[in-house]
Structure 1
Amino acid sequence: MSFVLAQQQGWKADSLSAVPLGPFGPLREGVSGLSESNVNEKANPTAEFFMWEEFTTKPYFHPTAEKPSPPLKKIGEIFTPWPSWMVVASTRLFPDPENDQRLKSLFQVFDQGIKDFEADTAQIVKLLGTGELGCNYIEEDAKEWLKDVKFTNRTRGVDDKIIRDVVDVLKVAGVIDSALTSDEAVQRVIGIKR
């Protein structure tokens, strides 16, 4: 995402240097310079900023009565130019994904799950506060999160424009060979086209 930000802002790709810090806890510590185990240490930041999902990060930047001076500050937002989740499958297990009945069934289950999710958002708001779905959002945050959540109406298949856009960003980031054509990437990556 840092390279997407660089492209949006017109920064040179080589103006960014990634600092691998690990999962969410070390990212917070890298920016704040403070360790959760010893908040009395002198701050020693190892990164200038990180990018993470807003509602997971909110307890660390939003002042509350319990934490009037949280360790982080929110400085902006950026939205991904691609879906947040993709489904991938092994070519060894699924040599012909387009015609595989197991994958067809899987996507039917996903599509039904999305319909069920969207049919009872009040229940989803409650579940988001329990930890059962992997997070603990307060009701206000869960409702706010749901405002921006958009699900595809059909999970099966990939639009090749998504792959082309991702390839463009990854070339700038130096993650993939700049000689790779978008057509070649689409051919290599997409097992089920939309």
Structure 2
Amino acid sequence: MKKINIGGVPEHFNLAWYLTLKNGEYKNKGINLRWHDYPGGTGDMCKALRNSNIDIAVILAEGIIKDIIEGNKSKIVQTFVQSPLVWGIHVYHDSAYKTINDLKGSKAAISRYGSGSHLMAYINAKNNNWNLEKDLQFEVIKDLDGAIKGLTNGTADYFMWEKFTTKPLVDNGIFRRIGNCPTPWPCFVIAVREEFLESNEEDVKSILNIVNNTTSEFKEIPSIDRTIANRYEQNIEDVKDWLQITEWSQTIIDKQTILDIQNQLLNLKIIAKTLDYSELVYEL
């Protein structure tokens, strides 16, 4: 049995992995797939790929593209979630900030530099015509628990995170959401370390085939909305809304999308150069 390590955020987007692991589907292919939660998100997973702590990551497209350009020896092998990620823009419930424009020049809580919460702060700033050099400040808070502490004690002013994940915190009066900021591209992709890919391509194909069979029928799974609501402590009506706007993918990310993401990151000065499609994507 071959041991393979995979990482992802402990959120509802990745329930398909949990279901296929619970069913023992990878073991039937001689694969001992070990799932690792990364509450710190994409920046944390980029580091784990670089350090060979994981072989595969279910990771935000913009974050892994930036990190590959900066030397991460990994390749994108597939889009996992085709629909955009809707980032909620949150402040402490009793904060004086009422609108997105009130946040201009204030401090954003980010899980780490290079993370989705970091990169999306730039997208939000651009959307609101802020000065990217003067109007953005950052405070590293590691994860969602760190964001709660940071916004509560005032070391940071706002926090951007997937809005359905943070909805219970809004409902409980910890955060107040003052706006949304969808990604201008598909959100999650699957990335694999190059060194691992070279000698384990067939195993990667088997893993993708298994999870793709589940995501292609995910919304038809009986009582899937209740399962998600119970497992992730979500309101069932919110889960139904999330299922309506979320589309999984079973195909490789296309050249135009890779180009569009890189061009936007370049215009925001988040990356210093672009790479050819073949340097970012591996076609299985």
Q: TM-score range by the shorter chain?
A: 0.7 to 0.9
1:104-132 deviation digits (Å, cap 9, x = unpaired): 32332222111231222x5211211232x
Which residue matches 1:28?
148
Check if 1:164 corresponds to 2:259. yes
* Superposition map of 1:164-183 within 5 A: 164-177=259-272, 180-181=273-274
Note if 1:49 corresponds to 2:49. Answer: no
2:123 partner letter: V
- AA aligned to 1:2 is A
Taking every aligned residue pair, what percent have the same amino acid on both sides?
23
Aligned residue number for residue 230 of structure 2? 130
Q: How do 1:43-192 and structure 2 match up within 5 A?
A: 45-62=154-171, 67=172, 70-95=173-198, 100-120=201-221, 122-131=222-231, 135-152=232-249, 155-177=250-272, 180-181=273-274, 184-192=275-283
User: 2:125, 2:199 → 1: CA distance?
Assistant: 38
Amino acid at match of 2:248: F
Q: CA deviation at 1:171?
A: 3.0
Equivalent residue, structure 1, for 2:66: none
> Which letter maps to 1:140?
E
Q: Which runs of 5+ in 2 are unaligned?
A: 1-119
Closer, same or farther in 2 for the Cα pair 1:13/1:186, shift >3 Å?
farther
Is the CA contact 1:3–1:172 (under 8 Å) kept in the aligned structure 2?
no
Counterparts of 1:19 and 1:167 in 2: how far apart (Å)? 25
Whole-Å Cα distance in 2 between the matches of residues 77 and 31 of structure 1?
18
CA contact (8 A) 1:13 1:172 kept: no
Letter in 2 for 1:161: Q
3-state SS, counterpart of residue 182 of structure 2 = coil
SS, match of residue 233 in structure 2: coil
Q: Which amino acid aligns with 2:122?
A: F
1:127-186 CA-partner distances (Å, limit 9, x unpaired): 11232xxx121222211221211122xx23221223223323433454422xx23xx242
RMSD between aligned alpha carbons?
Answer: 2.3
In 1, are the aligned partners of 2:219 and 2:243 still within 8 Å (CA)?
Answer: no
Q: Report how far residue 49 of structure 1 moved.
A: 0.9
Aligned length: 164
TM-score by length of 1: 0.73
- TM-score w.r.t. length of structure 2: 0.52
Higher relative contact order (CA 8 A, sep 6+): 2
Q: Distance between the aligned counterparts of 1:47 and 1:32, measured in 2?
A: 8
Decide which structure has the larger Cα Rg and report it: 1
